Amino acid sequence: MTIAEVSKKYGLTADTLRYYERIGLLPAVNRSSSGNRDFTEADCKWVQFIKCMRNAGLSIELLIEYVSLFQSEEDTTEARKNLLLEQRSQIELKIHDLQETLDYLDGKIVNYENKLMKLEEDLRKSK
């Protein structure tokens, strides 16, 4: 696949894909005979993984560390798992905080709805 096709498929700019490759986040992509990037299925899986992890809130630095561990010749399974578990815990905290915010907003909305209902009742009674 060309960089334009991958860019469209994953909703990332070509510049972002080039950046990810340049900093080592995306393993080096093969080049066609004309020198253009030629993304394989494996490359696309990396792009999908990176996009998912970025959406989950992982920093570029943490992802670089993960990729470095993955590419290590040592067994880094436990270390990679721990990185993901830590990020999962952070997401759970964010979800908890967002749920508290949502509950607060719901309470405020109910309060306004109750005030509007009372106002409408008062208007009906005054007729």
In terms of Cβ atoms closer than 10 Å to its own Cβ (0-12, 13-18, 19+), residue 106 is: exposed
Give the SS3 label for residue 37.
Answer: strand
pLDDT tens profile 49-99:
999 999 988 899 999 999 999 989 999 999 999 999 999 999 999 999 999
In whole angstroms, what separates CA 14 from the centre of its chain? 18
pTM of the shown model: 0.71
Give residue-wise pLDDT tens across range 95-111. 999 999 999 999 999 99
Q: Domain segments of the chain: what residues?
A: 1-71, 77-127
pLDDT per residue as tens digits for the range 2-50: 999 999 999 999 999 999 999 989 988 999 999 999 999 999 999 999 9
**CATH of segment(s) 1-71:** 1.10.1660.10
